[in-house]
Amino acid sequence: MVRRSSATLALLVSIVITFLASSAAPTPLYATYGAEWGFGSLGTTVAFGVYAIAVLVALLVLGRLSDHLGRRPVLLAGIAGQVVSLLVLTTATGYPALLTGRVLQGIATGAAVGAVGAAMLDVDRVRGAVANGTAPGAGTAIGALLSGVVVQFLPAPVHTIYYLVIALLLVQAVGVLRMPETSPRLPGAAQRARASLVPEIRLPRAVRPRMLVAAPVVFAVWALAGLYGSLAPTLVHQLGGQGVLLGALALSTLAGVAAAAGLVLREQSPRALMLIGIGSLTVGVTGTLAAVEAGWLLGFFLGSFVAGIGFGTGFQGAVRTVVGAAAPHERAGVLSAVYVVAYLGMGVPAVVAGSLVGRVGDVTTVVRDYGIVLVVLALGALVGLLRREAPAAATCPRVEAAVQA
């Protein structure tokens, strides 16, 4: 039984990694697309932003569906949607097709992310919470790095990376068909599922104070990810970095360190993780900005390394803070609410930054201002965290009993 649950958890983690890798795969390709189809930094950030907006819409509409219909059917639908989106990107011949593929990708991701995250908690509450905090970073790092390698060294790069991801998704779909359902349907599920499609963010009473503590941290760390996902390759090039792979390595460093930090420091309390995250984010972003002003490429990567620690620990601490108060039948909805905050942080500031690059004409100036805003956000999150009691550090027998039931 333990072996089977471990295999199920590994499958679910691999799905999260693949979905996030899929979302990061276009990042090294934006320069290629832009040169061929005639768009610049604003077009890049819009392509990045529409993905985040599509994820948000899907989370709001579909985020609670698996709490009623079960995890497996929602996961299978999400995988099918992801395959369709990648086929659109593979055959894209212009900017509108790129945007269409990114929107479809966002809808598929938003539909699946709450279900797969809740399924991991169904299988193992402790390991599932850690996986929810680390798998997104691992997926983003793998996707950006693999895409960079494909673009720089393999033929037909705008097709090859998507074919690889599609093949992996098909294998995972077979695994989902064979895995046990972790949240069986209850009587009246269809009616409740239809009602859940009405967009709303309704958090259980026990979760609300924790979300108030965690949300600013989630927003800040994912705003950093949005900056790297949209503008890091351009910035690396302006700092003297040559080659697509080096540009992809910036996002891969941030996200890879985030995943590793969350895993290494998983024994820390959620509150401690958020404090480490805020501190590391502040130091890392400040160091990165100093390196950008000095034109020091190595310093930029060193700052990205430290900022990655902040991303990983801050997000995992926030996830564990929030989901610790969610009962099994509330998990997908609660996780979807966390990801709504995350994708707001990732999408909106990135699009604003891209717009400013188009007006100012200097990516380093925009990145400097963006970084200053990030530091202010992080410090604001720190003030909020210190002023509130740490609900994640307190033990509530009623909540613990509900979670373990």
Coil/strand/helix, residue 159 = helix
Across the range 202-206, mean pLDDT stands at 79
Token pair, residue 178, equals: 């064979």
The 8-class DSSP code of residue 257 comes to H
| The amino acid at 179 | M
Across the range 221-247, mean pLDDT stands at 85
Most confident range, picked from 145-159, 168-182, 320-334: 168-182
Is 403 a residue whose pLDDT tops 50? Answer: no
Token pair, residue 345, equals: 């942080």
Token pair, residue 258, equals: 């985030």
Is 316 a residue whose pLDDT tops 80? Answer: yes
Residue 216 and residue 79: Cα distance in Å, rounded?
30
Q: Is 305 within 8 Å of 259 (Cβ atoms)? A: no
Residue 308 and residue 382: Cα distance in Å, rounded?
17
Is 395 a residue whose pLDDT tops 60? Answer: no
Q: How confident is the model at residue 179 (pLDDT cuts 50, 70, 90)?
A: very high
Across the range 147-157, mean pLDDT stands at 86
Report the mean per-residue pLDDT for the chain: 85
Q: Is 169 within 8 Å of 44 (Cβ atoms)? A: no
Identify which has the larger pLDDT, 200 or 354: 354
Q: Is 110 within 8 Å of 344 (Cβ atoms)? A: no
| The amino acid at 88 | V
Q: Is 115 within 8 Å of 66 (Cβ atoms)? A: yes
Token pair, residue 137, equals: 């970073």
Identify which has the larger pLDDT, 324 or 169: 169
Cα angle 33-371-100, degrees, rounded to a multiple of 5: 30
Closest CA to 390 of 310, 313, 321: 321
Closest CA to 391 of 322, 330, 338: 322
Is 392 a residue whose pLDDT tops 60? Answer: no
Q: Is 99 within 8 Å of 50 (Cβ atoms)? A: yes
Closest CA to 323 of 146, 89, 77, 122: 122
Q: In the chain, what are the domains?
A: 2-180+203-404 (1.20.1250.20)
| The amino acid at 356 | L
Across the range 305-321, mean pLDDT stands at 92
What confidence score (pLDDT) does residue 24 get?
86
What confidence score (pLDDT) does residue 355 get?
75
Q: How confident is the model at residue 189 (pLDDT cuts 50, 70, 90)?
A: low
Q: Which of 18-22, 55-59, 247-251, 334-338 has the lowest average pLDDT?
A: 334-338
pTM, two decimal places: 0.80
Q: Is 241 within 8 Å of 352 (Cβ atoms)? A: no
Across the range 105-112, mean pLDDT stands at 92
Q: Is 392 within 8 Å of 321 (Cβ atoms)? A: yes
84 half-sphere exposure, CB direction, 13 A CA radius: 13
